[in-house]
Amino acid sequence: MKKKSWLSYLFSHASYCKGKIILSIILSIISVMAGLIPFICVYNILKAFIENTVTVNTIVIWSVISIISYIIKVVCFGISTGISHVAAYTILEKIRMGVADKFLRAPLGKVMEKSIGEIKNIIVDQIESIEPPLAHMIPEAIGNLLLPSTIFIFLLIFDWRMALASIVTIPLTMIPFSITMKKSQKKFEKYMESSNQVSSAIVEYIEGIQVIKAFGQTGKSYEKFSNAIIDYKIFILEWMSSTWVSFKLCFAIFPSTLLGTLPMGLLLYTKNVLTPAEICLCLMLSMSMIGSLSKIEVFMNDLKKMGFTIYTVQDFLDMEELSEPIDNAILSGYDVNLSNVSFSYTEDKETEVLHSINLKLPQNSFTALVGPSGGGKSTVAKLLSRFYDVTDGEIKIGDINIKDMPLSQLSNIVSFVTQDNFLFNCSLLENIRLGNPKATDQEVYNAAKAAQCDEFILKFEDGYNTSAGEAGNRLSGGEKQRIAIARMILKNAPIVILDEATAFTDPENEDKIQRSIAALTKGKTLLVIAHRLSTIKNADNIVVLKNGNIIAQGNQEELIKNCTLYRDMWKSHIGTKAWAVSQKKEACINV
């Protein structure tokens, strides 16, 4: 299928601002036309002086007309740009919200393929760079195209030779301008790539500063960061130096309209074709074309950048979406069924991480997934939450394929708590309330108490109104996990997935939280991914995953008896736990 032009994409985003854009253009045209009237006023005053017919009344009338027309020009231009800026930022809002919405609807893998620096560069910087040309180009470009066209027609009325003389520098300007554009075309894509690389390097350096300092990699990491910036600087300087001469030639030749109009005007005056007043008017009008044509030249460069940005943004907006119906599905319950589920993060079948998995999670049951790292445990949880779609097979909830229910419905019935829990830079109260935006403060407090959050939250001076900080950096790993568990409790979804939800919790609070979770998940479909086997020893069904295959399942007693891998994992876990207890006792004795 033929790729649409970037203008088509832009107009599709701007369609609901059509009224504002049209009004802005009309006002811009009025402003441009009003800007021509003072020249005619000066012409009439000059003519009166030359013909010796000038009076005070003549000067006053034409001066007043000139002032009024100038006021109209300024007012219309101001309103036009004001409206165009409102339209531009509305369009940017729509594009940014469209990208954010696409991230929610696209498979998680497609989103994670993009680096944080690239995403930040697109959503923040590149989309923002559309605003200046968008706010000025749409209304002003039409006005600035109309002005020289009108002046050219106006000059034709006086004399066609003056009209041609007024544009004699345009063909000369096209030579260096085409050279500039040709060189820029080759470099522009590289420029955008370099910009993304610099953004990625900056984000990586800032986000990893703690690890860099902790492992003494300051010099090496700083070198990588500085090299990215230096390479970007070198590239930009080389690009600018390669186009500097031709670019400056454009602005040197282009404004020189007097090179054509002044000699031609004097020649026509000697032949009695034009009067001095008419020559002055022609010179003023030809010089007034310069500003408009210069802006068009700048707009041409902005157009190229805007086109590249629109195409890049559109690649985000055209990302594959997870299909979903409009209407909610009617479920017969909340049991979960995985039938012949296979999955690969790539299109290559040889990289499958799950192979024909068959698993049933009955409602009101506690199922645990255990096994070596990389066995596919977290992948099962992500598929159930539909962060990805299965490669083969199907997943059903209440006898309904999860593909046949809206993502919003699936999100409401599945609660997923991971090891790495993200907190937003807002109050702890609001971070917990994300589990149920309609919850009262008291309901939030109750959920926090159940998740053992109350004790550490109340130690803060502002209590529940304390900000979690950037990505929750004011809290420890265990505290962040407890906030995430409080969210889960508040959400009260019928299906709960816990991916080692108490991994960072201290032993003192772990037992309390486990009991809270056990009490609050009664009657629900509970799936726990565990690394500490003591947390799932009472599970109804423990499923052992290895290399993407289920090698055994059953209760604790059955697996210890019949599954060598589980028995070895349990022995290892008990040994580690015993070692931790002995270390704790030894520390207490030494104290």
pLDDT tens figures, 142-184: 777 777 888 888 888 878 888 888 877 777 777 777 776 666 6
**Residue 75 pLDDT grade (very low, low, confident, very high; cuts 50, 70, 90):** very high
Alpha-carbon distance of 460 to 452, in angstroms, equals 15
Residue 579 has pLDDT above 50, yes or no: no
Residue 244 has pLDDT above 80, yes or no: no
b/e burial code for range 364-377 (CB count within 10 A of at least 16 → b)? ebbbbbbbeeebbb
Instruction: Using DSSP bridges, classify how beta strands 541-546 and 365-370 pair: parallel, antiparallel or unpaired.
Output: parallel
- What amino acid occupies position 409? Q
In a domain, 454, yes or no: yes
Give pLDDT tens digits for 320-333. 878 888 888 888 88
In a domain, 494, yes or no: yes
Give pLDDT tens digits for 510-569. 666 666 667 667 778 999 888 778 778 888 899 999 888 999 999 888 888 888 888 888
Model pLDDT, residue 581: 43
In a domain, 570, yes or no: yes
Write the DSSP string, 29-98: HHHHHHHHHHHHHHHHHHHHHHTT---HHHHHHHHHHHHHHHHHHHHHHHHHHHHHHHHHHHHHHHHHHH
In a domain, 447, yes or no: yes
**Residue 591 pLDDT grade (very low, low, confident, very high; cuts 50, 70, 90):** very low
Beta bridge partners of 497: 416, 527
In a domain, 379, yes or no: yes
In a domain, 505, yes or no: yes
In a domain, 506, yes or no: yes
Give 126: exposed, middle or buried? Use CB within 10 Å, 0-12, 13-18, 19+. buried
Give pLDDT tens digits for 422-474. 788 889 999 899 888 888 999 999 988 888 888 888 888 888 898 888 767 78
Cα 107 to Cα 252, 405, 431, distances in angstroms: 53, 16, 25
Cα 343 to Cα 107, 340, 350, 384, 443, distances in angstroms: 13, 10, 10, 12, 39
Residue keyed to tokens 């596919």:
376
Q: Count up the domains in the chain and report the number.
A: 1
Average pLDDT taken over every residue of the chain:
79
Model pLDDT, residue 243: 67
CB 240 within 8 A of CB 192: no
Alpha-carbon distance of 478 to 14, in angstroms, equals 47
Model pLDDT, residue 293: 67
In a domain, 144, yes or no: no
Instruction: Using DSSP bridges, classify how beta strands 495-499 and 414-417 pair: parallel, antiparallel or unpaired.
Output: parallel
CB 133 within 8 A of CB 306: yes
CATH code of the domain containing 367: 3.40.50.300
Give pLDDT tens digits for 80-122. 888 888 888 888 888 888 888 888 778 776 777 676 667 777 7
Task: Indicate the DSSP class of residue 7.
Answer: H
By residue range, what is the domain housing residue 458? 336-590
Residue keyed to tokens 């007024």:
166
Give 319: exposed, middle or buried? Use CB within 10 Å, 0-12, 13-18, 19+. middle
